[in-house]
């Protein structure tokens, strides 16, 4: 089953520095029908104004994957990590027993990113942070973060994968799912997923599908979370 989540119907938040759209219930946006999908709990589409960002705050027992689409984000945390993650890169933070962090846009342009939260398979794990660049291989899915043994990607403590792809018009990807839940967002461009049309920044919740056929109707970029 495919459940389309059009960008125009997502939950929203706006202030002077953050423009956010929520695929699932988050903060003051609550929809009992959108409390997550399997172990996937949060998918936020954020735009951060230059010279601003999220001040220091804490998390625990959550796997937080940040996929930067435009601009860059500068990370600082209570473990002493400082790093800059730019478009085409991901950062992964396992909050574990507890971590405080800040995320700033120190660029001269807006930063746009996806913030993806996945519940860990166990609580009380050691916190950690990692960022990595992925050379974009056009027309194929790349593993960006994973808890699946054998994957060469930043670690998340869950049987799940975060994948990304950039596609040219007419490119097609086939992906086996074996009925496991997944969530896909068109980061830019227009796609069809098993015949369902997605516009830019639309999402789709995928359940009980054995396979996906993803076709780019124009130059496009997508992010997909699969859960075992």
The CATH code of the domain that includes 93 is 2.60.120.10
Q: By C-alpha distance, which of 105, 22, 32 is closest to 71? A: 105
What is the reported pLDDT for 178?
Answer: 85
Q: What whole-number distance in Å separates Cα of residue 178 and Cα of residue 103?
A: 36
pLDDT for 138: 86
When divided into structural domains, the chain yields a total of 1
Q: Average pLDDT for consecutive 10-residue bins of the chain (228 residues)?
A: 98 98 97 96 98 98 98 98 95 98 98 98 97 85 95 96 96 94 98 98 97 98 94
Q: Which residues are within 8 A (CB) of 80 and not within 5 positions of it... i.e. 6 or more apart?
A: none
Res 101: pLDDT: 98
User: What's the gap between Cα 180 and its chain centre?
Assistant: 18
Q: How far apart are the two ends of the chain, measured CA to CA in Å?
A: 17
Q: Which among 112, 120, 126 is positioned nearest to 103, based on CA atoms?
A: 112
- Which of these, 102, 26, 115, lies nearest to 69 by C-alpha position? 115
- Measured between alpha carbons, how far is residue 87 from residues 21, 128, 210 in Å? 19, 21, 32
- Residue 39, phi-psi category: left (phi > 0), alpha (psi -120 to 50), beta (remainder): alpha
Are 101 and 77 in contact, with CB atoms under 8 Å apart? yes
Q: What is the pTM of this model?
A: 0.96
Here the contacts of 74-82 (C-beta below 8 Å, separation 24 or greater) are 74/103, 74/104, 74/105, 74/106, 75/101, 75/102, 75/103, 75/129, 75/131, 76/101, 76/102, 76/104, 77/101, 77/102, 77/129, 79/127, 79/128, 79/129, 81/129
Asked whether 225 and 162 are in contact (CB, 8 A), the reply is yes
The Cα-based distances of 174 to 4, 59, 102, 184 in angstroms read 19, 36, 38, 14
Domain that holds residue 145: 2-227
DSSP of 130-198, one letter per residue? Answer: EEEE----TTS-EEEEE-STT--S-B-SSSEEEEEEEE-TT-EEEEE-TT--EEEEEEES-EEETTEEE
């Amino acid at each position: 089953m495919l459940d389309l989540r059009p960008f125009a119907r997502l939950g929203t938040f706006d202030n002077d520095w953050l423009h956010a759209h929520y695929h699932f219930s988050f903060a003051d946006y609550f929809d009992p029908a959108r409390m997550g999908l399997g172990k996937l709990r949060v998918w936020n589409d954020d735009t951060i104004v230059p010279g601003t960002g999220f001040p220091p705050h804490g998390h625990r027992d959550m796997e937080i994957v940040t996929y930067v689409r435009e601009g860059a984000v500068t990370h600082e945390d209570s473990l002493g990590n400082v790093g800059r993650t730019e478009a085409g890169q991901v950062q992964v933070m396992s909050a574990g027993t507890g971590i405080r962090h800040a995320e700033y846009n120190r660029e001269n342009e807006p930063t746009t990113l996806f913030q993806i939260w996945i519940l860990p398979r166990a609580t009380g794990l050691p916190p950690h942070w990692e960022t990595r660049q992925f050379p974009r291989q056009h027309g194929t899915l790349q593993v960006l973060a994973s808890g699946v043994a054998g994957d060469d990607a930043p670690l998340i403590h869950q049987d799940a994968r975060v994948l990304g792809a950039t596609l040219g018009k007419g490119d097609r990807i086939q992906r086996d799912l074996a009925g496991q839940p997944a969530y896909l967002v068109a980061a830019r461009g227009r796609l069809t997923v098993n015949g369902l049309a997605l516009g830019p920044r639309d999402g789709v919740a995928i359940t009980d599908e054995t396979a996906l056929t993803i076709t780019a109707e124009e130059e496009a970029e997508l992010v997909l979370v699969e859960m075992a």
